[in-house]
Amino acid sequence: MDHPSQPSVRHFDHCPWLFADEATEEQRAAQREVQRAVGGDTGIGERCYVAESAAVFPDRLRLGDDSYIAAHAYVTGELDTGSHCTLNPFTTVRGNVVLGQGVRIGAHTSLLGFNHSMAPDRPVFRQPLTSRGIRVGDDVWIGSHVIVVDGVTIGDHCVIGAGAVVTRSLPAWSVAAGNPARVLRDRREVRGTGTAEVDPAAAAAAAVSGIRPDDSRTPPNRPAPDAEPAAVTAGDPERAPRDRQGVQVAGAAGAEAAAAAAAPGRRPEDSHTPTTHPTPHPAAAADTQAAAAVGAEVADLPGIRPGGGRTPATRPAPDPRAAALAVFADAARDQAAGLLDRCWDGERYADRPGAAPTVRAHCDAVEIADLLLGVAPEHLSAEEHIGRLSGLQDPKSGLVPEFGEPLPVADADGFIGEGASLYHVLCVGYALDLLGPGLPHPVRGVRDMTVRQLVARLEALPWRTGAWGAGAWIDSLATAAHWNLRHDDGSDDHGTPESLFGWLLTRADPWTGMWGSPSAEEGRLQVVNGYYRLTRGSFAQFGLPVPYPERVVDAVLDHARDARHFGPGRENACNVLDVAHPLWLCTQQLGRGGDGYRSGEIHEWAERKLTTVLPRWQDGRGFGFGPGAAGPGPEPGLQGTEMWLAIVWYLADLLGRSGELGYRPRGIHRPEPARQGIAGLS
């Protein structure tokens, strides 16, 4: 029983930031029991708090150190947070949601990382669920009564005003508000000057989460309580911040309430506010200052000033490069259904009109529809797509042959060495993964391969004469191993992934970080392209660091200057992707800031490529793969469109502008690992 002067469990549920310092040993023991009682696949860090009154029913939960889930929060699905993350009272988090470090989520906010299909052929309650997921970066403050919908990525250091409805991704450092939310300014810019220096409000607000504007991490001893003058008090003048004389503080609550009032169907008096406020933390003044900046910007927008004035403040001119990305992405979304229609022959998908239908074309159609529309292609229901693609897999071998071709004959070790079925392990597997169920059967040749057989095959691959083919084979083998790990059928595990990574780590060239040898005829083309395929399926897919990342950057940048492959009229999707992805992968490992390894050259290359790629989009037709014999050619089609859309995302993300696109690859070219490590290596 709590001492009369001791805060109760109900008090801690609503003010969990007090728990670390004020709880009794009995209350700490009870909290440990609450955490142990959370179901699903759960991992909770140090000094965390989960309110007894919260409804936490996850399939998977990873709660970082010094984080809390407050009273009456509702959490289902898969939630993965960094340290110092706060889900305040009545927060809803559902579906697939990933939070970075130091994320503050205001009361009554909803992060909905899933959606319903809504095809007209059946009632909504019978429609399948879809999930693209929500990704939130580091040092993000989301105000109260905000709604973030499925498929949105919120960049590092963003601030989102109360009542916003976030339907599109936001770039790093954005200050955003409204319904739908739009970017008002960059947090780093001093208002009215256009300079890119960090202003005091941004620095002070960043101090709350322990992440400085220069992105170095200095976590505080425990999470600071969320002052949230805009988020907590919007629409309630009796609870608005006041000075020592009891006068309301202007700008924060008033302007944010005006923003909420501007949202269709929401009035300021509709806001629900907790009846108890925490004692202000020393950092609360910083939060108030930052919130006032958000409120002032919202109030300056036409039509939502409290007095109805329409005199927008002077704001920095929008970046035309970012605007170009948004315009491109909007056009691609608007035209996605038409370009898929163009490649549907009434029964199956072909890469382009006049070409023969292929398995890959069907998978490319699924990837494009998911990326741009968030649904399965409309020519078939989701169940019909799943049925067709699942039915292509041979139950005994786990392989998928090309339409009209016999099942490939396996080699002595049980797996195949070449042919379309190698890539079908990737494309059919990921298409089914996007649609929901994944491959129905394991790839048995990879599952049953012994370590001795695997090493013999790796040693026999054509590293000197065909490094791309060697990398493509490993991509297929590692992806098959990834799918096989989802099938727990009680069979023996011969350790294929562990043996593969052990072999690769001991064979990487310390001078280039790669595998294989360049040639006088092609330069580094085979080596770099093989590196992309190899690391995509292995290190990137399993979330493991690549060896010698600095040397990889050196080798890739050197290759990118080779005019034989990157001269005017010579670029194709494979060659550009096989540079962009390794650079992106290594910069993630080395650090993305301005002091990252050779970051200036990487940014210059990515900027130059973007300016040449975007104009290649052909209205209603998409992208052509490009010249050369390595692909389907310059005619726009599904393969070229799927690959170049992913390339555009990687190029934009290297420049910190991928949020403008409003899409993020989730299939073959997904940036996040499909699996986090393996036993003994993670």
Catalytic residue IDs: 116
- Tell me if 643 sits within 8 A of 625, measured CB to CB: yes
Q: In sequence order, what E strands does 343-395 have?
A: none
Q: Looking at residue 546, what DSSP letter applies?
A: P
d(CA 653, CA 603): 10
Structure tokens at 410: 């396996």
- What are the structure tokens assigned to 542, written together? 């399993």
Distance CA 211, CA 219 (A): 7
Cα separation, 661 vs 640, in Å, equals: 18
348 alpha carbon, distance to own chain's centre: 31
Let me know: does 665 contact 482? Beta carbons within 8 Å: no
CB neighbour class for 376 (10 Å; exposed up to 12, middle 13-18, buried from 19)? buried
Neighbour count for residue 10 (Cβ, 10 Å): 14
Distance CA 515, CA 526 (A): 10
The two structure tokens encoding residue 101 = 């470090």
Least Cα distance to 396 among 440, 357, 438, 444 occurs for 444
> In 113-219, which ranges are continuous DSSP H helix?
200-209
Scanning 374-440, the segments in alpha helix (DSSP H) are: 382-391, 420-435
- In one letter, which amino acid is 151? G
Instruction: Kindly state the tokens that stand for 531.
Output: 């590196």
3-state SS track over 490-540: CCCCCCHHHHHHHHHHHHCCCCCCCCCCCECCCECHHHHHHHHHHHHHHHH
The pair phi, psi for residue 650, each rounded to 5°, is -65, -40
Sign of CA dihedral 255, 260, 262, 266: negative
The dihedral over CA atoms of 318, 324, 325, 327, expressed in degrees to the nearest 10, equals 100
Q: How many helices (H) and strands (E) does the chain have?
A: 22, 19
Task: State both tokens at 655.
Answer: 């420049």
